[in-house]
Chains A and B, each alone.
Chain A
Amino acid sequence: MNIVVCVKQVPDTATERKLRSDDKTLDRDAADGVVNELDEYAVEEALRLKEAHGGEVTVLTMGPDKASETIRKALAMGADKAVHLVDDALHGSDALGTSYALAQTLKKIGFDLVVLGSESTDARTGVLAAMLAERLGVPQLTFANKVEVNGTSIAIQRVTDYGYDKVEAVLPAVVSVVEKINEPRYPSFKGIMAAKKKPVEKLGVADAEIDVAQVGLAGSWSEVADFAAAPPRAAGTVVKDEGDGGVKAADFLASKKFV
């Protein structure tokens, strides 16, 4: 099975994340880049599927040169090879542009199964997997907390507000995973050393037959008109519990008409 796992480099949540004042895109220099957490679960799931069914795991990343760190991490976990879609023309692409660029690349490199995290911690749109399924014309198996492959059949549990749906499809397909589907492995020392020798193919927009009119800031379908740091919340009242903390909290709720 030819599995492609899409991973994204995102700014570390623990550092201050900013938008750039010039073009209102993510300031990638302001924060440390890390692998999007939910994509680590995707890598793990891809590796487990490969271990169970054979085949190959290819990491696909779209992002600047710096995103090669993210590729190395996924290779160190055990992926076989990587494709890095990197081109200045892609800078500032919105979800539609990103899904288009990734879909073009996926068509080029081929796949039986695409796996990715259900959302990124920076943009948090949660739409990319659905968009990839739409663009590729393959089944959408998203928000999975369980994945089972049997020959060319695939079944998942799709997490819902009320529990989960059992969903079935035939490969090729796009799967997005939620946290708790598995426990991502840590790269071993051997894995880290081996990752340095694994092939990473760099593709530009021309290589992936991407129409530059549909990507980048100018090609996007939406724009950030303005932004500002959120004003700090007005300082609240903090009391120490002297045996009446619950009563005081109730008084506060009453003052706000919640009780």
Chain B
Amino acid sequence: MSEVLVLVEHVDGQVKKVTLELLTLARRLGAPSAVWAGPGYSAEAKAKLAEYGAEKIYVADSADITDYVVAPKAELLAQLVSSASPAAVLVAATAEAKEIAGRLAIKTDSGVLTDAVGIGEGLVADQSIFGGGVNVQSRVTKGTPIIAVRPNATPVEASAGAGAEEQVSVAVSDAAKGAKVVDRVKEEKGARPELTEAAIVVSGGRGVGSAENFSIIEKLADSLGAAVGASRAATDAGWYPHQFQVGQTGKTVSPQLYIAAGISGAIQHRAGMQTAKTIIAINKDPEAPIFELADFGVVGDLNQVVPQLTDEIAKRK
């Protein structure tokens, strides 16, 4: 069975959930080989990757790989594509991993598909385009298929793999050292999950009314272990930081549950959340287009409904 390379997403040495999703998906396509790029690899990480099906784990944990923007990781993967001749390469559809996929595609003369929400027979990828209005099936026609898969698109299942570790030495070329990361600035984000990875997202919009009032959105999110998002109206008004914007010019999320509070549901917002599995809308305007998407909607004042919902969730825990 051919290998399927899975680029591991990790932070502070911890394997991210999306990687477990990709390993689950890769098992259906071949023999999953996890690729660890950058420092932080540990026995714990190895155990996690094996638990979810990694037959092999390629480890390239030199700092050189993360000291420069994107290019070294593409070089590492290109080297592995050449040596392992995998059936496919899977990466998470994050901003950076998509860039890695793009550069890898050029290096290996291969096609690349981004933002897949599923992969079927013959490595045909399902994509949702135009703000969720059109479903597309695409495939790579040249080289090794490189597919970036959206977080939360695949239910995670454990199934042990051999987890055979293989150290990879990669000599990062001078060409890949053009853009040097000289500092990493971490902004306060608290204990909440990352927006694009979260299983549940609670977003606030114009109806929230002020920066201070976003605390009621945060409380609801915390009661559910959710990430907080915001509509463009809310970020443009300066009520919530821009990096939390969900929508066409912000983040695209595909969570199990999306709660939209005080968001009308303009196309620009819908483009970022329409593939959520379950959607709840709370808005005082019964005509708001968000209700067309909602599995459950409450027409009412979010200042009443949201705190009540938060209390009610606490009671039922």
Contact = CB atoms under 8 A, between A and B. Distances in A.
Nearest to B107: A134
B298 A140 contact: no
Contact of A236 (B135, B187, B294, B313): B294
Nearest to B181: A165
B98 A125 contact: yes
A161 B194 contact: yes
B212 interface: no
A217 to B, nearest CB: 11
B28 interface: no
B39 interface: no
Contacts of A186: none
A220 B178 CA distance: 28
B114 interface: yes
B143 A138 contact: no
B106 A253 contact: no
Interface string B101-116: 1110111011111110
B134 A228 contact: yes
Given A13-B271, A95-B112, A224-B137, A162 B184 contact: yes
Interface in A145-193: 155, 157-170, 173, 179-180
A109 interface: no
Nearest to A233: B293
Interface in A27-58: 37-38
A197 interface: no
Given A140-B69, A166-B183, A222-B111, A241 B106 contact: no
A1 B54 CA distance: 49
B133 A134 contact: no
Contacts, number: 280
Contact of B103 (A123, A130, A180, A249): A130
A126 B74 contact: no
Given A158-B69, A246-B304, A249-B296, A164 B74 contact: no
Nearest to A128: B102
A245 B283 CA distance: 11
Contacts of A124: 114-115, 129, 248, 252
B45 interface: no
Contacts of B252: 124
Most chain B beta-carbon contacts within 10 A, residue among A133, A157, A169 = A133
Interface in B163-183: 175, 178-183
A244 B267 CA distance: 30
B179 A238 contact: no
Interface in A126-142: 126-131, 133-135, 137-142
Interface of A: 13-14, 16-19, 37-38, 94-96, 99, 118, 121-131, 133-135, 137-143, 155, 157-170, 173, 179-180, 220-230, 233-234, 236-241, 243-250, 252-254, 256, 258-259
22 contacts: A13-B271, A123-B129, A125-B115, A159-B95, A162-B184, A180-B242, A221-B141, A221-B142, A221-B143, A222-B142, A223-B138, A223-B139, A224-B138, A225-B139, A227-B135, A230-B128, A238-B291, A238-B294, A239-B298, A241-B301, A245-B299, A249-B305
Query: 9 closest pairs, A vs B, by CB?
Result: A241-B300, A246-B308, A127-B102, A139-B178, A221-B111, A163-B187, A250-B312, A130-B99, A246-B309
Given A166-B183, A220-B141, 14 more contacts: A13-B267, A17-B130, A18-B134, A125-B98, A125-B114, A127-B112, A130-B70, A162-B186, A163-B184, A173-B179, A222-B142, A238-B298, A238-B299, A252-B295
